[in-house]
Amino acid sequence: MSEQGYFGEFGGSFIPEILVATFEELIAAYEEARADPAFWKTYVDLMGNYSCRPTPLTEAVNLTRHFGGARIFIKREDLNHTGAHKANNVMGQGLLIQRMGKKRVIAETGAGQHGVATATMAAKFGLECTIYMGEVDVARQRPNVFWMERMGATVVPVTEGSRTLKDAINEAFRDWVTRMDDTHYALGTACGPHPFPEMVSWFQSLIGEEARRQVLEQAGCLPSRVYACVGGGSNAMGIFGGFFEDDVELVGVEAGGAGLDSKAHASRLASSDATLGVAQGYKTYFLQNPDGQMNETHSVAAGLDYVGVSPILAHLSQTGRVRFEAATDEEVVDALSLTMQKEGLIPALESSHAFVQAFKEAPLMSPDEVIVINQSGRGDKDIFTIADAFGDPEWEAFIQKKAKEYDAR
């Protein structure tokens, strides 16, 4: 049996027979592209001309002063077109779609970030586009649905299961099974069957490549530690990718939700609640019950609220190359608030998880040391969630007034 797509005991490809040919085609296209330096150049150029890569590495002078420890640098994936690192993966897969000659793209989305990025890519590449999104997420992330629809995508609410991200993934697979000839499924994170974990990580590796170069240039040395939040794991794999060969500690931060002992979290690797399993086409740690049924998870950040985790990260956790921590919802809101006030940056709630852990450790480090935090996305897309997280009464009054205007129509 082929060991393709395994990272230690994690990964693999657990897919229905009907998708096997499609995956073979995808793997072939991916491997061809990966072996072709012109493809990478096209990709880098596209990201330079359409998004704003290289994204800056911003030195957080005020936060550094505030904590009085390590020098803090922030990698600014929030400045990507559509507002997050998700754009990297999606544009890369868009180029692969062109290579494969497909005409339609589908994707799952939780928070909506990956859906917006995919709809954007589809518009740019002239592809038909369907986005699967849990009904619960459609309801709470309407702004993103609005943009996807305006960009010409069809957004299909998924009404089964927990009606969130994992169900949207299932539904996307269901679509793919019926239309694999003309359709590519652009999975949004470094999860799923081979080649997705590896391929998505490859596209995201731009982040780490740039960050390594930039930190050497700006700080004159490698960082002691690099922090990234971990949902599926793509932004983390992206930035970590630049530092695997270096003596740099890599720290992944998962959603601690209401606390690791509350069960209301989404920590697969930082908690001991997850166990090895096989679902959604791959083997990794899942938050599941003893029967193997997936649990409901919780996080203030929709993008981290997922039962599984990249098999590559599961492996790196096992080997000890990446350390995993968790940040609670409350800590996240505090870190976000501090970052806004000190630096004028608005990290996404997802990204803020990485900030929490960095803020815990920076003060204990020496001023000679440097750390890098990956700001995977911008928070201003999530005003509904963030305003609720802050419990802003003026915001509530504004929405109530707006609703009355609509009622009066």
Partner 1 sequence: MLADYIRKRREDRDILLMTHIVAGYPSFDDSLRIVEQMVEGGVDLMELQVPFSEPIADGPVILHANQRSLEAGSTVDRCFEFAEAVSQRFDIPFVLMTYYNILFKFGVQEFADRMAAAGLRGAIVPDLPPEEAGDYLEAMGRNELDPIFIFSPNTTDTRMSLISSRAGGFVYCVARKGVTGAETSFSADFEAYLSRCSAATELPLALGFGVKDAADVDFLRGQVDIAVIGTETLRVVDERGVEAVRGFIEELR
Ligand X SMILES: Cc1ncc(COP(=O)(O)O)c(C=O)c1O
The reply to whether 348 sits near ligand X by the rule CB under 6 A is yes
Binder of ligand X out of 11, 195, 208, 231 (CB under 6 A): 231
Binder of ligand X out of 135, 325, 350, 361 (CB under 6 A): 350
User: From the CB of 220, what's the least distance to ligand X, in Å?
Assistant: 29
CB atoms within 10 A of CB 291: 5
The reply to whether 208 sits near ligand X by the rule CB under 6 A is no
C-alpha span between 295 and 278 (Å, rounded): 14
What does the H/E/C string look like for 125-186? HCCEEEEEEEHHHHHHCHHHHHHHHHCCCEEEEECCCCCCHHHHHHHHHHHHHHHCCCEEEC
Token reading at 123: 């518009």
Nearer to partner 1, 180 or 255 (CB): 180
User: From the CB of 309, what's the least distance to ligand X, in Å?
Assistant: 8
Q: Is 56 within 8 Å of 207 (Cβ atoms)?
A: no
Nearer to ligand X, 22 or 201 (CB): 201
* Interface with ligand X: number of residues (CB under 6 A): 22
Which one of its own copies, partner 1, ligand X, none interacts with residue 384, CB within 5 to 8 A by kind? Answer: its own copies
User: From the CB of 56, what's the least distance to its own copies, in Å?
Assistant: 5
- Which residue type sits at 390? F
The reply to whether 385 sits near ligand X by the rule CB under 6 A is no
Closest-CA residue to 347 (of 370, 372, 381) = 381
The reply to whether 201 sits near ligand X by the rule CB under 6 A is no
Measured between its terminal Cα atoms, the distance across the chain in Å is 64
Closest-CA residue to 306 (of 121, 88, 137) = 137
Which amino acids are annotated catalytic? 86, 108, 376
CA atoms within 13 A on the CB side of 345: 34
Which one of partner 1, its own copies, ligand X, none interacts with residue 150, CB within 5 to 8 A by kind? Answer: its own copies
Binder of partner 1 out of 166, 225, 378, 381 (CB under 8 A): 166
The reply to whether 170 sits near partner 1 by the rule CB under 8 A is yes
Measure Cα distances from 349 to 238, 336, 366, 388 in Å. Answer: 18, 7, 28, 12
Where in 290-309 is the site for partner 1 (CB under 8 A)?
290-294
The reply to whether 256 sits near ligand X by the rule CB under 6 A is no
The reply to whether 12 sits near partner 1 by the rule CB under 8 A is yes
Query: Crossing angle, helix 86-100 and helix 113-125, to 10 degrees?
Result: 40
Which one of ligand X, its own copies, partner 1, none interacts with residue 84, CB within 5 to 8 A by kind? Answer: ligand X
